[in-house]
């Protein structure tokens, strides 16, 4: 055992998938590596449920010292980490099952699965990290694997362009985070989150601390695709294979958001009024995302811009979580944020996977070529519609509940402007979601597509399962609400967090 | 703190920490300038490397200077790992640059413009 059980199993499968891939090319068994990685994800989930989850629900946390105890590097898994890890593993499982048929005609499948395992392991590591040393290494593991996955279809010109753009912008962000960490280290002599919280939470905001704050905002903001820093996202999300787009949009950008929540609340919550900065960014982000999405003709680019606007809604929760005064509003804001992160991973995951299924059959991403496909591929089209309606916030789907929680918390936290902007933007976003649904179901096809058939059953199974989950969480949100509230409460207990780690 | 150019016991020459801080900030902005103005794919990757090295230099300087006569192993091990990680980024970046060169027949980043907003 080096790390937590979940991470250990993910690393085991990351390494062994490569070996199995090599073996399957030797003994010529078709699809061996696909099934092996499905087994890998199922067993990771089992290990997570059997080892990590009971420990956290019994003690409230797990602490694993990683490299050397004296250096203060450790993994700290608490309710927030558990919440994020369960999202990663759930969406990862869906994507891997979907990829069995979706990717079967591609070359380099062993590499594809190794990279997926690496990316998920990186994200799990980022949310379990208890210090910046560990966080940065897992952050880079997540980033590097995602660069390669975006460039996975290496014969496509545009994939190279998107991936290179993503690599340059995102590694600039990582370099900026690293520089901020070096300044933090110089100011306090430690990289441990709890020690940093102890020495910074009540410190006066010096100019150096302002620089650190700005650099951390830029660095994490690039990964989260907050608007002035979002330019890599539409390209990378639309040029990656659809299964990867689902992972990037559903969970990778939310990992950046997790970084914001953790770091701002633990380190900066008493020094700056960062809630106002985040509130402004939230409005700018959702408005720009929606307006740009309205102008798109390409289905995947439309979904990518819609991700940006969804990040804007989530930032409402973060802004409310930072308002001083009302602790109930803080908890409600974070609850809304976590619920929306969970729901968004399912909604946007489903949207990208079903859009991928349409593109897989039609060979085109242009909306004009998707006209009338709803009658030929009913299940896929209905699940795409469910995901789009949920993203738009139609009641009885899960997106409604989380948006409602977010907007309500904005009123409660004394930021009604945010709630109004969010409601207006939800209305605006329905314009392009309904346009897609109308194109798919009602428009007359321009050329003969009558030979198009429904996608294979294993892909359909994933789509139906995700659509069912979205509807279930929309009609019966209680358990998810409690799960998110639990995570939000534990994130806001800074004193408890520090007390847990410092005596070690 | 010893004066400029004097020697501490152990034979290390001592500049004050501000020199390193100024140097690393300058390096950071050189890297940023390189990312903003250069058109060549390889030069952009060099810009990333310069930024990471600026941060590494900062870590090393702070590790040696924070406490007199004690070098913090945490920062040094972080720098070693950071060098490894950044070389991975560079390797991936160069690989993608090679593929981009094969597809577009140019290293000029302003020619990579098939994707627009």
List the domain range (segments joined by +) for residue B73. Answer: 17-111
Contact A232, A170 (CB under 8 A): yes
What six digits make up the tokens of A395?
């009641």
**pLDDT tens across A385-428, in order?**
999 999 998 888 998 999 999 999 999 888 899 999 999 999 99
Contact A57, A86 (CB under 8 A): no
Q: What would you report as the CA-atom Rg of chain A, rounded to the nearest whole angstrom?
A: 22
Greater pLDDT, B69 or A251: A251
Residues 6+ apart with CB under 8 A from A93: A38, A41, A42, A45
Nearest to A393, CA basis, from A404, A385, A383: A404
| Structure confidence at residue A432 (pLDDT) | 92
Taking the alpha carbons at both ends of chain B, their separation in whole angstroms is 54
Distance in angstroms (rounded) separating the CA atoms of residues A68 and A70? 6
- What are the chain B neighbours of A161 within 8 Å (beta carbons)? 100, 104, 112-115
Question: Is A292 within 8 Å of B35 when comparing Cβ atoms?
Answer: no
Asked if the model's pLDDT at residue A488 lies above 70, the reply is yes
**pLDDT tens across A204-217, in order?**
888 888 899 999 99
Give φ, ψ of B70 to 5 degrees.
-140, 130
Concatenated DSSP letters for B58-117? HHHHHHHHSBTTB--HHHHHHHHHHHHHHHHHHHHHHHHHHHHHHHHS--BGGG--S---
- What are the chain A neighbours of B67 within 8 Å (beta carbons)? 189
In B16-75, the residues whose Cβ lies within 8 Å of chain A are 21, 24, 28, 31-32, 35, 41, 44-45, 47-48, 51-52, 54-56, 58-59, 61-62, 66-67, 72-75
Using pLDDT thresholds of 50, 70 and 90, give the confidence band for residue B5.
Answer: very low
What total number of domains does chain B contain? 1
Q: What is the mean pLDDT of chain A?
A: 90
| Structure confidence at residue B12 (pLDDT) | 52
B104: in domain: yes
Beta strand extents in A201-325 (DSSP E only): none
B11: in domain: no
What six digits make up the tokens of A111?
């590499």
**pLDDT tens across A89-134, in order?**
999 999 999 999 998 888 888 999 999 999 999 999 999 998 898 9
C-alpha distances in Å from residue B12, one per residue of A39, B9, B18, B77? 56, 7, 17, 21
**pLDDT tens across A264-291, in order?**
988 887 777 888 999 999 999 999 999 9
According to DSSP H, which parts of A240-326 are helical?
Answer: 242-247, 253-263, 274-294, 299-321
Q: At what angle do helices A132-150 and B73-104 cross, to 10 degrees?
A: 10
Distance in angstroms (rounded) separating the CA atoms of residues A475 and A398? 7
Mean pLDDT for A328-353 is 93
Q: CA geometry: angle at B53 spanning B49 and B54, to 5°?
A: 120
Mean pLDDT for A304-329 is 90
Q: CA geometry: angle at A66 spanning A84 and A502, to 5°?
A: 80
Question: Is B48 within 8 Å of A162 when comparing Cβ atoms?
Answer: no
B52: in domain: yes
Contact A372, A443 (CB under 8 A): yes
- ipTM (interface pTM): 0.90
Q: What is the mean pLDDT of chain B?
A: 84
The distance of A285 to chain B (nearest Cα, Å) reads: 15
| Structure confidence at residue B3 (pLDDT) | 44
Asked if the model's pLDDT at residue A436 lies above 70, the reply is yes
Q: CA geometry: angle at A282 spanning A205 and A137, to 5°?
A: 65
Q: CA geometry: angle at B19 spanning B17 and B22, to 5°?
A: 110
Distance in angstroms (rounded) separating the CA atoms of residues A275 and A441? 42
B21: in domain: yes
- What are the chain A neighbours of B113 within 8 Å (beta carbons)? 161
Interchain CB contact of B82 with A (< 8 Å):
yes
B74: in domain: yes
Contact A167, B92 (CB under 8 A): yes
Distance in angstroms (rounded) separating the CA atoms of residues B47 and A502? 38
Question: Is B62 within 8 Å of A239 when comparing Cβ atoms?
Answer: no
Question: Is B55 within 8 Å of A179 when comparing Cβ atoms?
Answer: yes
Distance in angstroms (rounded) separating the CA atoms of residues A236 and A225? 11
Interchain CB contact of B9 with A (< 8 Å):
no
User: What is the CB neighbour count within 10 angstroms for residue B14?
Assistant: 16
Q: Chain B residue closest to A171 (CA)?
A: B48
| Structure confidence at residue A356 (pLDDT) | 92
Q: Which of A32-41, A136-145, A167-176, A316-325 has the lowest mean pLDDT?
A: A316-325
- Counting one residue from chain A and one from chain B, the pairs whose CB atoms sit within 8 A come to 125
Q: Which of A165-169, A190-194, B93-97 has the lowest mean pLDDT?
A: A190-194
Q: Chain A residue closest to B65 (CA)?
A: A186
Nearest to A194, CA basis, from A238, A285, A132, A281: A132
Q: What is the largest CA-CA distance in chain A?
A: 70
The distance of B9 to chain A (nearest Cα, Å) reads: 23
Give φ, ψ of A153 to 5 degrees.
-85, 85
**pLDDT tens across A27-78, in order?**
888 788 999 999 999 999 999 999 888 888 887 788 887 665 556 788 889 8
Asked if the model's pLDDT at residue A161 lies above 70, the reply is yes
- CATH (domain of B30): 1.10.287.3510
| Structure confidence at residue B13 (pLDDT) | 53
């Amino acid at each position: 055992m080096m790390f937590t059980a979940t991470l250990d199993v993910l690393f085991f499968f990351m390494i062994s998938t490569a070996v199995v891939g090599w073996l399957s090319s030797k003994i010529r068994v078709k699809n061996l590596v696909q099934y092996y990685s499905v087994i890998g994800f199922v067993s990771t989930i089992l290990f997570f449920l059997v080892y990590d989850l009971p420990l956290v629900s019994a003690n409230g946390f797990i602490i694993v010292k990683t490299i050397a105890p004296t250096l203060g590097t450790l993994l700290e898994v608490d309710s927030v980490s558990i919440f994020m890890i369960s999202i990663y593993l759930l969406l990862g499982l869906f994507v891997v099952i979907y990829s069995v048929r979706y990717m079967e005609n591609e070359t380099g499948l062993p590499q594809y699965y190794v990279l997926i395992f690496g990316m998920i392991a990186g994200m799990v590591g980022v949310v379990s990290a208890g210090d910046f040393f560990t966080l940065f290494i897992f952050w880079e593991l997540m980033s590097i694997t995602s660069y390669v996955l975006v460039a996975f279809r290496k014969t496509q010109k545009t994939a190279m362009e998107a991936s290179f753009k993503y690599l340059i912008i995102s590694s600039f962000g990582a370099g900026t985070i690293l520089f901020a960490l070096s300044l933090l280290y110089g100011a306090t002599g430690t990289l441990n989150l709890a020690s940093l919280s102890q020495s910074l939470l009540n410190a006066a905001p010096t100019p150096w601390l302002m620089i650190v704050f700005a650099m951390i905002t830029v660095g994490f903001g690039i990964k989260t695709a907050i608007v002035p820093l979002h330019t890599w996202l539409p390209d990378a999300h639309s040029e990656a294979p659809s299964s990867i787009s689902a992972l990037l949009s559903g969970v990778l950008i939310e990992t950046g958001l997790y970084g914001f929540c953790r770091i701002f609340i633990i380190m900066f919550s008493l020094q700056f009024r960062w809630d106002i900065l985040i509130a402004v960014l939230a409005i700018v982000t959702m408005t720009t995302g929606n307006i740009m999405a309205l102008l798109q003709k390409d289905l995947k680019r439309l979904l990518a811009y819609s991700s940006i606007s969804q990040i804007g809604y989530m930032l409402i929760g973060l802004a409310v979580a930072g308002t001083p005064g009302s602790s109930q509003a803080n908890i409600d804001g974070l609850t809304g944020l976590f619920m929306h992160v969970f729901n968004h991973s399912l909604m946007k995951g489903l949207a990208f996977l079903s859009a991928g299924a349409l593109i897989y059959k039609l060979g085109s991403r242009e909306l004009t070529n998707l006209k009338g496909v709803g009658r030929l591929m009913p299940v896929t089209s209905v699940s795409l519609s469910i995901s789009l309606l949920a993203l738009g916030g139609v009641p009885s789907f899960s997106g409604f509940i989380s948006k409602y929680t977010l907007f309500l918390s904005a009123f409660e936290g004394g930021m009604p402007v945010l709630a109004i902007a969010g409601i207006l933007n939800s209305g605006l976003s329905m314009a392009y979601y309904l346009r897609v649904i109308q194109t798919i179901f009602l428009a007359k096809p321009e050329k003969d597509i009558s030979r198009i058939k429904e996608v294979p059953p294993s892909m359909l199974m994933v789509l139906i399962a995700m659509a069912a989950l979205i509807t279930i969480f929309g009609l019966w949100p209680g358990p998810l609400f409690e799960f998110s509230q639990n995570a939000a409460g534990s994130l806001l207990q800074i004193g408890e967090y520090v007390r847990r780690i410092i005596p070690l | 703190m010893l004066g400029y150019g004097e020697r501490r016991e152990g034979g290390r020459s001592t500049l004050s920490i501000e020199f390193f801080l100024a140097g690393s900030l300058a390096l950071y902005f050189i890297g940023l300038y390189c990312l903003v103005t250069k058109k060549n794919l390889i030069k952009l990757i060099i810009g990333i490397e310069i930024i990471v090295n600026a941060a590494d230099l900062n870590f090393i300087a702070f590790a040696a200077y924070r406490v007199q006569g004690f070098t913090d192993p945490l920062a040094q091990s972080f720098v070693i790992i950071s060098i490894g990680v950044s070389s991975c980024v560079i390797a991936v970046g160069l690989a993608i640059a090679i593929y981009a060169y094969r597809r577009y027949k140019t290293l000029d980043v302003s020619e990579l413009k098939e994707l627009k907003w």
